[in-house]
Amino acid sequence: MSMHRIGLLALALATLAAAPIPQVLAAERILVAQSAANDEEDWRRQRRPKQPGQDRPDRPRRPDFGPVIQFIPTMVYPAGEREVAPPPGYERPETRRPRPQAATKTKTSKPKAAQQRVTKPKTIKAKTPAPKRTPPIPQAVAGTYVEGEVLFAAPSPEITDTILKRYRLTRLETAELALTGTTVVRARVAKGGNSVATLRALRAEKSLISSELNHLYALQTDETKAAAGDLAAVQYAPAKMRLDEAHALADGSAVLVAVIDSGVDGSHPELAGTLDPASRTTTVGPHGTAIAGVIAAHQRLTSVSPKVRILAFDSFLGPEGSAARGSTLDILKSLDKAASAGARIVNLSFAGPSDVLLAAGLTAAREKGMVLIAAAGNGGPKAAPAYPAAHPAVIAVTATDPADAIYKSANRGAYVALSAPGVDILTAAPGATYAQFSGTSFAAAQVTGVAALLLQRAPQLSPDAVRSILTRSARDLGKPGRDDIFGAGLVDAAAALLAVSEATASAALQ
Protein backbone atom coordinates (compact mmCIF):
# COMPACT_ATOMS: atom_id res chain seq x y z
CA MET A 1 0.00 0.00 0.00
CA SER A 2 1.30 3.38 -0.93
CA MET A 3 1.83 6.20 1.48
CA HIS A 4 -1.01 8.05 -0.12
CA ARG A 5 -3.48 5.34 0.84
CA ILE A 6 -2.03 5.08 4.32
CA GLY A 7 -2.65 8.80 4.78
CA LEU A 8 -6.22 8.50 3.63
CA LEU A 9 -6.86 5.68 6.06
CA ALA A 10 -5.36 7.67 8.90
CA LEU A 11 -7.56 10.62 8.02
CA ALA A 12 -10.58 8.32 7.96
CA LEU A 13 -9.68 6.91 11.34
CA ALA A 14 -9.35 10.36 12.83
CA THR A 15 -12.65 11.48 11.38
CA LEU A 16 -14.46 8.39 12.58
CA ALA A 17 -13.00 8.73 16.03
CA ALA A 18 -14.24 12.31 16.26
CA ALA A 19 -17.77 11.59 14.98
CA PRO A 20 -20.44 10.53 17.53
CA ILE A 21 -21.02 7.15 15.91
CA PRO A 22 -21.29 3.89 17.78
CA GLN A 23 -17.99 1.99 17.93
CA VAL A 24 -19.32 -1.06 16.15
CA LEU A 25 -20.57 1.01 13.21
CA ALA A 26 -17.34 2.94 13.02
CA ALA A 27 -15.25 -0.22 12.97
CA GLU A 28 -17.44 -1.68 10.30
CA ARG A 29 -17.08 1.38 8.09
CA ILE A 30 -13.30 1.25 8.47
CA LEU A 31 -13.33 -2.35 7.33
CA VAL A 32 -15.50 -1.42 4.38
CA ALA A 33 -13.16 1.38 3.35
CA GLN A 34 -10.05 -0.80 3.70
CA SER A 35 -11.62 -3.64 1.79
CA ALA A 36 -12.79 -1.37 -0.97
CA ALA A 37 -9.27 0.08 -1.39
CA ASN A 38 -7.70 -3.36 -1.67
CA ASP A 39 -10.37 -4.56 -4.04
CA GLU A 40 -9.92 -1.50 -6.25
CA GLU A 41 -6.17 -2.08 -6.49
CA ASP A 42 -6.59 -5.77 -7.33
CA TRP A 43 -9.25 -4.93 -9.89
CA ARG A 44 -6.97 -2.46 -11.62
CA ARG A 45 -4.22 -5.04 -11.81
CA GLN A 46 -6.55 -7.66 -13.27
CA ARG A 47 -8.46 -5.47 -15.67
CA ARG A 48 -5.69 -3.26 -16.87
CA PRO A 49 -2.46 -5.14 -16.95
CA LYS A 50 0.59 -3.21 -18.03
CA GLN A 51 1.78 -3.98 -21.55
CA PRO A 52 5.13 -2.73 -22.50
CA GLY A 53 5.43 -0.57 -25.54
CA GLN A 54 1.92 0.71 -25.45
CA ASP A 55 2.53 3.91 -23.54
CA ARG A 56 1.34 6.92 -25.35
CA PRO A 57 3.44 9.85 -24.43
CA ASP A 58 1.31 12.16 -26.49
CA ARG A 59 -1.61 11.60 -24.08
CA PRO A 60 -1.12 12.66 -20.50
CA ARG A 61 -1.77 9.96 -17.95
CA ARG A 62 -4.23 10.52 -15.08
CA PRO A 63 -2.48 10.34 -11.77
CA ASP A 64 -3.47 7.34 -9.70
CA PHE A 65 -4.78 8.69 -6.42
CA GLY A 66 -6.45 5.38 -5.42
CA PRO A 67 -10.04 5.11 -4.23
CA VAL A 68 -11.55 8.30 -3.04
CA ILE A 69 -13.49 7.99 0.17
CA GLN A 70 -16.00 10.73 0.80
CA PHE A 71 -16.83 11.36 4.44
CA ILE A 72 -20.23 12.87 4.98
CA PRO A 73 -21.10 13.99 8.46
CA THR A 74 -23.20 11.22 9.89
CA MET A 75 -26.30 11.93 11.91
CA VAL A 76 -26.70 9.78 14.97
CA TYR A 77 -29.91 7.77 14.80
CA PRO A 78 -31.32 5.35 17.28
CA ALA A 79 -30.98 1.66 16.70
CA GLY A 80 -31.89 0.72 13.12
CA GLU A 81 -30.46 3.90 11.43
CA ARG A 82 -29.40 3.99 7.76
CA GLU A 83 -25.89 2.77 6.91
CA VAL A 84 -23.58 3.05 3.92
CA ALA A 85 -24.23 0.22 1.47
CA PRO A 86 -21.22 -2.15 1.13
CA PRO A 87 -19.74 -2.89 -2.29
CA PRO A 88 -20.91 -5.91 -4.31
CA GLY A 89 -19.78 -9.26 -2.97
CA TYR A 90 -19.20 -7.99 0.54
CA GLU A 91 -20.38 -10.27 3.27
CA ARG A 92 -21.50 -8.38 6.34
CA PRO A 93 -20.20 -9.92 9.54
CA GLU A 94 -22.90 -11.48 11.67
CA THR A 95 -24.18 -9.01 14.27
CA ARG A 96 -24.05 -10.02 17.87
CA ARG A 97 -27.33 -10.64 19.51
CA PRO A 98 -27.81 -8.50 22.62
CA ARG A 99 -27.87 -10.43 25.84
CA PRO A 100 -31.25 -10.50 27.57
CA GLN A 101 -31.23 -8.12 30.49
CA ALA A 102 -33.56 -8.07 33.45
CA ALA A 103 -36.35 -5.64 32.86
CA THR A 104 -36.11 -2.71 35.18
CA LYS A 105 -39.30 -1.55 36.81
CA THR A 106 -40.11 2.00 36.09
CA LYS A 107 -42.66 3.87 38.07
CA THR A 108 -45.20 5.53 35.88
CA SER A 109 -47.85 7.79 37.19
CA LYS A 110 -51.26 6.47 36.27
CA PRO A 111 -54.60 8.12 36.73
CA LYS A 112 -56.45 7.05 39.86
CA ALA A 113 -59.23 5.55 37.81
CA ALA A 114 -56.74 3.36 35.92
CA GLN A 115 -55.07 2.29 39.15
CA GLN A 116 -58.39 1.18 40.53
CA ARG A 117 -59.11 -0.94 37.45
CA VAL A 118 -55.80 -2.77 37.63
CA THR A 119 -56.30 -5.61 40.05
CA LYS A 120 -54.04 -8.49 40.80
CA PRO A 121 -55.41 -11.92 40.10
CA LYS A 122 -56.67 -13.43 43.34
CA THR A 123 -56.05 -17.00 44.20
CA ILE A 124 -59.36 -18.71 44.86
CA LYS A 125 -59.23 -20.69 48.05
CA ALA A 126 -61.65 -23.42 48.81
CA LYS A 127 -64.16 -22.22 51.38
CA THR A 128 -64.35 -24.38 54.43
CA PRO A 129 -67.68 -24.34 56.28
CA ALA A 130 -67.53 -22.34 59.50
CA PRO A 131 -67.97 -24.44 62.63
CA LYS A 132 -71.48 -24.29 64.04
CA ARG A 133 -71.67 -22.39 67.29
CA THR A 134 -73.91 -23.61 70.01
CA PRO A 135 -76.31 -20.94 71.24
CA PRO A 136 -75.12 -19.33 74.46
CA ILE A 137 -76.90 -20.15 77.69
CA PRO A 138 -79.22 -17.26 78.55
CA GLN A 139 -77.69 -15.15 81.27
CA ALA A 140 -79.61 -13.41 84.02
CA VAL A 141 -80.00 -9.69 83.42
CA ALA A 142 -78.74 -7.45 86.19
CA GLY A 143 -81.64 -5.87 88.04
CA THR A 144 -84.06 -8.78 87.48
CA TYR A 145 -82.94 -10.71 90.56
CA VAL A 146 -81.73 -10.05 94.08
CA GLU A 147 -77.96 -9.81 93.80
CA GLY A 148 -76.07 -11.82 96.38
CA GLU A 149 -78.87 -14.34 97.00
CA VAL A 150 -79.77 -17.82 95.74
CA LEU A 151 -82.66 -20.20 96.35
CA PHE A 152 -82.47 -23.98 96.53
CA ALA A 153 -84.60 -26.91 97.64
CA ALA A 154 -83.03 -29.99 99.23
CA PRO A 155 -84.71 -33.30 100.06
CA SER A 156 -83.49 -33.31 103.68
CA PRO A 157 -82.11 -30.95 106.35
CA GLU A 158 -78.78 -32.83 106.31
CA ILE A 159 -78.26 -32.15 102.62
CA THR A 160 -79.23 -28.51 103.18
CA ASP A 161 -76.53 -28.14 105.84
CA THR A 162 -73.97 -29.85 103.60
CA ILE A 163 -74.70 -27.45 100.73
CA LEU A 164 -74.50 -24.42 103.01
CA LYS A 165 -71.07 -25.48 104.29
CA ARG A 166 -69.68 -26.59 100.94
CA TYR A 167 -70.41 -23.27 99.24
CA ARG A 168 -70.05 -21.08 102.34
CA LEU A 169 -73.63 -19.88 102.10
CA THR A 170 -75.44 -18.04 104.87
CA ARG A 171 -79.03 -19.11 105.51
CA LEU A 172 -81.39 -16.12 105.43
CA GLU A 173 -84.81 -17.81 105.36
CA THR A 174 -86.45 -21.22 105.14
CA ALA A 175 -89.92 -21.60 103.62
CA GLU A 176 -92.00 -24.76 103.91
CA LEU A 177 -94.23 -24.92 100.81
CA ALA A 178 -97.08 -27.41 101.19
CA LEU A 179 -98.25 -26.72 97.62
CA THR A 180 -95.09 -28.21 96.09
CA GLY A 181 -94.04 -30.35 99.06
CA THR A 182 -90.58 -28.76 99.20
CA THR A 183 -88.51 -26.68 101.57
CA VAL A 184 -86.92 -23.68 99.91
CA VAL A 185 -83.86 -22.03 101.45
CA ARG A 186 -82.93 -18.44 100.72
CA ALA A 187 -79.19 -17.96 101.25
CA ARG A 188 -76.57 -15.26 100.86
CA VAL A 189 -73.54 -16.13 98.71
CA ALA A 190 -69.99 -16.13 100.07
CA LYS A 191 -68.04 -12.89 100.27
CA GLY A 192 -66.51 -12.08 96.89
CA GLY A 193 -68.90 -14.39 95.04
CA ASN A 194 -71.95 -13.65 92.92
CA SER A 195 -75.39 -15.15 92.49
CA VAL A 196 -74.96 -16.39 88.90
CA ALA A 197 -71.70 -18.28 89.52
CA THR A 198 -73.08 -19.81 92.72
CA LEU A 199 -76.25 -20.92 90.94
CA ARG A 200 -74.16 -22.58 88.23
CA ALA A 201 -72.37 -24.60 90.89
CA LEU A 202 -75.59 -25.50 92.70
CA ARG A 203 -77.20 -26.79 89.52
CA ALA A 204 -74.33 -29.24 89.16
CA GLU A 205 -75.29 -30.75 92.53
CA LYS A 206 -77.30 -33.90 91.88
CA SER A 207 -78.45 -34.04 95.48
CA LEU A 208 -80.61 -30.90 95.17
CA ILE A 209 -84.22 -30.90 93.96
CA SER A 210 -83.94 -27.47 92.32
CA SER A 211 -82.10 -24.17 92.57
CA GLU A 212 -82.74 -20.69 91.21
CA LEU A 213 -82.01 -16.99 91.48
CA ASN A 214 -84.36 -14.94 93.62
CA HIS A 215 -85.93 -13.18 90.62
CA LEU A 216 -87.79 -9.88 90.79
CA TYR A 217 -91.16 -9.21 89.12
CA ALA A 218 -92.82 -5.89 88.26
CA LEU A 219 -96.45 -4.80 88.39
CA GLN A 220 -97.86 -4.20 84.90
CA THR A 221 -99.23 -0.66 84.95
CA ASP A 222 -97.92 2.24 82.89
CA GLU A 223 -100.25 5.23 83.07
CA THR A 224 -102.27 6.68 85.92
CA LYS A 225 -104.44 9.78 85.93
CA ALA A 226 -107.05 11.22 88.23
CA ALA A 227 -110.69 10.48 87.45
CA ALA A 228 -112.67 13.45 86.12
CA GLY A 229 -116.36 14.01 85.57
CA ASP A 230 -119.14 11.47 85.97
CA LEU A 231 -117.69 8.13 87.04
CA ALA A 232 -120.36 6.12 85.30
CA ALA A 233 -119.74 7.94 82.03
CA VAL A 234 -116.03 7.18 82.21
CA GLN A 235 -116.54 3.42 82.56
CA TYR A 236 -116.67 1.78 79.13
CA ALA A 237 -115.56 -1.73 80.12
CA PRO A 238 -118.94 -2.97 81.47
CA ALA A 239 -120.61 -2.42 78.11
CA LYS A 240 -117.72 -4.01 76.19
CA MET A 241 -118.00 -7.19 78.28
CA ARG A 242 -121.82 -7.15 78.51
CA LEU A 243 -121.78 -7.14 82.28
CA ASP A 244 -125.42 -6.09 82.70
CA GLU A 245 -126.54 -9.30 81.00
CA ALA A 246 -123.97 -11.37 82.87
CA HIS A 247 -124.98 -10.02 86.30
CA ALA A 248 -128.50 -11.26 85.69
CA LEU A 249 -127.00 -14.78 85.85
CA ALA A 250 -124.14 -14.48 88.39
CA ASP A 251 -122.38 -11.95 90.61
CA GLY A 252 -119.44 -13.97 91.99
CA SER A 253 -120.93 -14.82 95.38
CA ALA A 254 -118.97 -17.27 97.55
CA VAL A 255 -115.98 -17.42 95.18
CA LEU A 256 -112.57 -16.76 96.80
CA VAL A 257 -110.15 -14.85 94.55
CA ALA A 258 -106.50 -14.43 95.58
CA VAL A 259 -104.75 -11.21 94.54
CA ILE A 260 -100.94 -11.48 94.76
CA ASP A 261 -99.95 -7.86 94.41
CA SER A 262 -99.16 -4.82 96.51
CA GLY A 263 -101.37 -4.10 99.55
CA VAL A 264 -105.10 -3.49 99.19
CA ASP A 265 -106.94 -0.65 100.93
CA GLY A 266 -109.78 -2.64 102.50
CA SER A 267 -111.24 0.52 104.01
CA HIS A 268 -112.17 1.95 100.61
CA PRO A 269 -116.00 2.31 100.24
CA GLU A 270 -115.88 0.33 96.99
CA LEU A 271 -114.25 -2.62 98.82
CA ALA A 272 -116.14 -2.56 102.10
CA GLY A 273 -116.60 -6.14 103.37
CA THR A 274 -114.73 -7.61 100.38
CA LEU A 275 -111.40 -8.63 101.95
CA ASP A 276 -111.25 -12.14 103.36
CA PRO A 277 -110.10 -12.36 107.00
CA ALA A 278 -107.21 -14.59 105.88
CA SER A 279 -105.74 -11.77 103.82
CA ARG A 280 -102.03 -11.16 104.51
CA THR A 281 -101.74 -7.48 103.83
CA THR A 282 -100.21 -4.94 106.18
CA THR A 283 -99.50 -2.23 103.64
CA VAL A 284 -101.60 -0.26 101.17
CA GLY A 285 -100.60 0.11 97.54
CA PRO A 286 -102.29 1.85 94.59
CA HIS A 287 -101.83 -1.08 92.23
CA GLY A 288 -103.26 -3.72 94.54
CA THR A 289 -106.19 -1.49 95.47
CA ALA A 290 -106.90 -0.79 91.79
CA ILE A 291 -106.85 -4.49 90.88
CA ALA A 292 -109.24 -5.34 93.71
CA GLY A 293 -111.54 -2.50 92.57
CA VAL A 294 -111.69 -3.81 88.97
CA ILE A 295 -112.71 -7.24 90.26
CA ALA A 296 -115.04 -6.41 93.15
CA ALA A 297 -116.00 -2.69 93.43
CA HIS A 298 -119.66 -2.39 94.37
CA GLN A 299 -120.65 1.15 95.35
CA ARG A 300 -120.33 3.83 92.64
CA LEU A 301 -118.42 1.66 90.19
CA THR A 302 -119.57 -1.36 88.20
CA SER A 303 -117.09 -4.18 88.63
CA VAL A 304 -117.06 -7.65 87.06
CA SER A 305 -117.82 -9.73 90.20
CA PRO A 306 -119.14 -7.41 92.91
CA LYS A 307 -119.87 -10.21 95.43
CA VAL A 308 -116.57 -12.12 95.40
CA ARG A 309 -114.25 -12.33 98.39
CA ILE A 310 -110.71 -11.01 97.91
CA LEU A 311 -107.78 -12.80 99.54
CA ALA A 312 -105.11 -10.09 99.38
CA PHE A 313 -101.31 -10.57 99.66
CA ASP A 314 -98.87 -7.68 99.73
CA SER A 315 -96.01 -9.53 98.04
CA PHE A 316 -94.82 -6.43 96.19
CA LEU A 317 -93.10 -3.90 98.38
CA GLY A 318 -91.23 -0.72 97.58
CA PRO A 319 -92.14 2.63 96.00
CA GLU A 320 -95.73 3.11 94.98
CA GLY A 321 -96.73 2.30 91.43
CA SER A 322 -95.10 -0.08 88.99
CA ALA A 323 -91.69 0.40 90.64
CA ALA A 324 -92.71 -2.04 93.40
CA ARG A 325 -91.01 -5.42 93.05
CA GLY A 326 -91.87 -8.87 94.25
CA SER A 327 -89.35 -11.69 94.61
CA THR A 328 -89.71 -15.34 93.63
CA LEU A 329 -89.83 -16.58 97.19
CA ASP A 330 -92.40 -13.98 98.34
CA ILE A 331 -94.68 -14.86 95.41
CA LEU A 332 -94.29 -18.58 96.09
CA LYS A 333 -95.20 -18.14 99.76
CA SER A 334 -98.32 -16.16 98.80
CA LEU A 335 -99.33 -18.78 96.22
CA ASP A 336 -98.86 -21.50 98.82
CA LYS A 337 -101.04 -19.67 101.34
CA ALA A 338 -103.70 -19.01 98.69
CA ALA A 339 -103.85 -22.74 97.96
CA SER A 340 -104.08 -23.56 101.66
CA ALA A 341 -106.93 -21.03 102.06
CA GLY A 342 -108.92 -22.65 99.24
CA ALA A 343 -108.70 -19.86 96.65
CA ARG A 344 -110.26 -20.97 93.33
CA ILE A 345 -108.74 -18.16 91.23
CA VAL A 346 -105.38 -16.35 91.50
CA ASN A 347 -104.82 -12.97 89.85
CA LEU A 348 -101.17 -12.42 88.82
CA SER A 349 -100.93 -8.87 87.43
CA PHE A 350 -97.13 -8.82 87.23
CA ALA A 351 -94.42 -9.96 84.85
CA GLY A 352 -90.78 -10.97 84.85
CA PRO A 353 -88.35 -13.74 83.82
CA SER A 354 -88.88 -17.48 83.67
CA ASP A 355 -88.20 -19.18 86.99
CA VAL A 356 -87.82 -22.87 87.81
CA LEU A 357 -89.22 -22.67 91.34
CA LEU A 358 -92.15 -20.45 90.35
CA ALA A 359 -92.95 -22.76 87.42
CA ALA A 360 -93.17 -25.72 89.83
CA GLY A 361 -95.56 -23.75 92.04
CA LEU A 362 -97.79 -22.79 89.10
CA THR A 363 -97.97 -26.37 87.87
CA ALA A 364 -98.91 -27.60 91.34
CA ALA A 365 -101.61 -24.92 91.68
CA ARG A 366 -103.18 -25.92 88.39
CA GLU A 367 -103.20 -29.58 89.41
CA LYS A 368 -104.98 -28.52 92.59
CA GLY A 369 -107.75 -26.96 90.47
CA MET A 370 -106.77 -23.30 90.83
CA VAL A 371 -107.43 -21.00 87.84
CA LEU A 372 -104.34 -18.81 87.22
CA ILE A 373 -104.77 -15.56 85.26
CA ALA A 374 -101.86 -13.19 84.51
CA ALA A 375 -101.01 -10.01 82.64
CA ALA A 376 -99.43 -10.63 79.22
CA GLY A 377 -96.89 -7.86 79.87
CA ASN A 378 -96.27 -4.23 78.96
CA GLY A 379 -92.97 -4.75 77.17
CA GLY A 380 -94.19 -3.80 73.69
CA PRO A 381 -94.69 -5.69 70.41
CA LYS A 382 -91.10 -7.00 70.24
CA ALA A 383 -90.74 -7.99 73.89
CA ALA A 384 -89.90 -11.53 74.91
CA PRO A 385 -92.63 -13.65 76.52
CA ALA A 386 -93.41 -12.48 80.04
CA TYR A 387 -93.80 -14.83 82.99
CA PRO A 388 -95.86 -16.14 84.69
CA ALA A 389 -98.28 -15.36 81.80
CA ALA A 390 -96.26 -17.45 79.32
CA HIS A 391 -96.41 -20.55 81.55
CA PRO A 392 -98.76 -23.24 80.13
CA ALA A 393 -100.77 -23.39 83.36
CA VAL A 394 -101.65 -19.67 83.16
CA ILE A 395 -104.26 -17.77 81.12
CA ALA A 396 -102.45 -14.76 79.59
CA VAL A 397 -104.54 -11.61 79.01
CA THR A 398 -103.67 -8.58 76.89
CA ALA A 399 -105.27 -5.10 76.97
CA THR A 400 -107.49 -3.16 74.55
CA ASP A 401 -108.75 0.45 74.51
CA PRO A 402 -112.29 1.89 74.08
CA ALA A 403 -112.00 1.44 70.28
CA ASP A 404 -111.03 -2.27 70.68
CA ALA A 405 -107.50 -1.46 69.50
CA ILE A 406 -104.56 -3.21 71.13
CA TYR A 407 -102.76 -1.40 73.93
CA LYS A 408 -99.62 0.16 72.45
CA SER A 409 -97.31 -1.32 75.11
CA ALA A 410 -98.82 -4.80 75.20
CA ASN A 411 -96.72 -7.87 74.54
CA ARG A 412 -97.47 -10.10 71.56
CA GLY A 413 -97.00 -13.82 71.24
CA ALA A 414 -98.49 -17.27 70.93
CA TYR A 415 -99.02 -17.43 74.69
CA VAL A 416 -101.66 -14.63 74.64
CA ALA A 417 -105.02 -16.32 75.31
CA LEU A 418 -107.54 -13.46 75.03
CA SER A 419 -108.11 -9.71 75.43
CA ALA A 420 -109.99 -7.45 77.84
CA PRO A 421 -110.39 -3.69 78.41
CA GLY A 422 -107.19 -2.36 79.97
CA VAL A 423 -106.73 1.27 78.87
CA ASP A 424 -108.01 4.19 80.99
CA ILE A 425 -109.80 1.86 83.39
CA LEU A 426 -111.61 3.71 86.17
CA THR A 427 -111.16 1.99 89.53
CA ALA A 428 -110.53 2.50 93.24
CA ALA A 429 -107.44 4.21 94.60
CA PRO A 430 -106.10 4.44 98.18
CA GLY A 431 -107.79 6.93 100.50
CA ALA A 432 -111.35 6.54 99.17
CA THR A 433 -110.35 8.10 95.84
CA TYR A 434 -110.59 7.03 92.20
CA ALA A 435 -108.13 6.99 89.31
CA GLN A 436 -107.76 5.74 85.77
CA PHE A 437 -105.09 3.14 85.05
CA SER A 438 -103.70 1.54 81.89
CA GLY A 439 -101.87 -1.73 81.41
CA THR A 440 -102.32 -5.44 80.93
CA SER A 441 -102.62 -5.75 84.71
CA PHE A 442 -106.18 -4.42 84.61
CA ALA A 443 -107.15 -6.50 81.60
CA ALA A 444 -106.13 -9.58 83.60
CA ALA A 445 -108.29 -8.41 86.51
CA GLN A 446 -111.31 -8.15 84.17
CA VAL A 447 -110.90 -11.79 83.09
CA THR A 448 -110.38 -12.84 86.72
CA GLY A 449 -113.81 -11.40 87.52
CA VAL A 450 -115.41 -13.24 84.58
CA ALA A 451 -113.82 -16.51 85.73
CA ALA A 452 -115.37 -15.95 89.16
CA LEU A 453 -118.79 -15.65 87.52
CA LEU A 454 -118.20 -18.96 85.72
CA LEU A 455 -117.16 -20.78 88.88
CA GLN A 456 -120.18 -19.46 90.76
CA ARG A 457 -122.37 -20.80 87.98
CA ALA A 458 -120.50 -24.11 87.69
CA PRO A 459 -118.13 -24.77 90.66
CA GLN A 460 -117.01 -28.09 89.17
CA LEU A 461 -115.24 -26.46 86.22
CA SER A 462 -111.55 -27.33 85.91
CA PRO A 463 -108.89 -24.76 84.96
CA ASP A 464 -108.78 -26.18 81.42
CA ALA A 465 -112.57 -25.96 81.11
CA VAL A 466 -112.54 -22.33 82.25
CA ARG A 467 -109.89 -21.51 79.66
CA SER A 468 -111.82 -23.26 76.92
CA ILE A 469 -115.08 -21.44 77.72
CA LEU A 470 -113.41 -18.02 77.90
CA THR A 471 -111.61 -18.42 74.57
CA ARG A 472 -114.53 -20.05 72.69
CA SER A 473 -116.99 -17.37 73.78
CA ALA A 474 -114.67 -14.40 73.13
CA ARG A 475 -115.58 -11.88 70.43
CA ASP A 476 -113.04 -12.08 67.62
CA LEU A 477 -110.79 -9.04 67.08
CA GLY A 478 -108.18 -8.32 64.42
CA LYS A 479 -107.59 -11.03 61.85
CA PRO A 480 -110.23 -13.80 61.65
CA GLY A 481 -109.51 -16.50 64.20
CA ARG A 482 -106.90 -16.56 66.91
CA ASP A 483 -103.81 -14.36 66.53
CA ASP A 484 -100.78 -13.35 68.57
CA ILE A 485 -102.06 -9.80 69.16
CA PHE A 486 -105.60 -10.29 70.57
CA GLY A 487 -105.48 -14.00 71.27
CA ALA A 488 -108.97 -15.51 70.83
CA GLY A 489 -110.55 -12.05 71.04
CA LEU A 490 -112.33 -9.80 73.55
CA VAL A 491 -113.77 -11.51 76.64
CA ASP A 492 -117.59 -11.65 76.69
CA ALA A 493 -119.00 -12.33 80.17
CA ALA A 494 -122.58 -12.91 79.03
CA ALA A 495 -121.56 -15.29 76.23
CA ALA A 496 -119.29 -17.21 78.62
CA LEU A 497 -122.10 -17.72 81.15
CA LEU A 498 -124.44 -18.87 78.43
CA ALA A 499 -121.79 -21.37 77.31
CA VAL A 500 -121.60 -22.68 80.88
CA SER A 501 -125.37 -23.09 81.02
CA GLU A 502 -125.38 -25.02 77.76
CA ALA A 503 -122.56 -27.25 78.93
CA THR A 504 -124.28 -27.91 82.26
CA ALA A 505 -127.57 -28.74 80.57
CA SER A 506 -125.79 -31.10 78.15
CA ALA A 507 -124.01 -32.86 81.03
CA ALA A 508 -127.31 -33.25 82.91
CA LEU A 509 -128.97 -34.83 79.87
CA GLN A 510 -126.12 -37.30 79.47
Catalytic residue numbers read 261, 287, 441
Q: Are strands 170-177 and 256-261 parallel, antiparallel or unpaired?
A: unpaired
Q: What's the rounded Cα separation, in Å, for the pair 115 and 109?
A: 9
27 three-state secondary structure: helix
Q: What is the CA radius of gyration of the chain?
A: 54
- Residue pair 380/400 in contact (Cβ under 8 Å)? The answer is no
- Cβ(258)–Cβ(345) below 8 Å: yes
Distance CA 241, CA 442 (A): 14
Q: Quote the distance between the C-alpha of residue 461 and its chain's center.
A: 42
Q: Hey, CA dihedral for 139, 144, 146, 147, is it positive or negative?
A: positive
Cis peptide before 388 (omega within 30 of 0): yes
Strands 170-177 and 145-153: unpaired
**252: CB partners within 8 A, 6+ apart:** 296, 304, 305, 306, 307, 308, 449, 452, 453, 456
The one-letter amino acid at 172: L
d(CA 411, CA 300): 32
What span, in angstroms and rounded, lies between the C-alpha atoms of 99 and 170? 93
Three-state DSSP at 26 gives: helix
- Reduced to 3 states (helix: H, G, I; strand: E, B; else coil), residue 320 is coil
Residue 143 forms beta bridges with which residues?
none
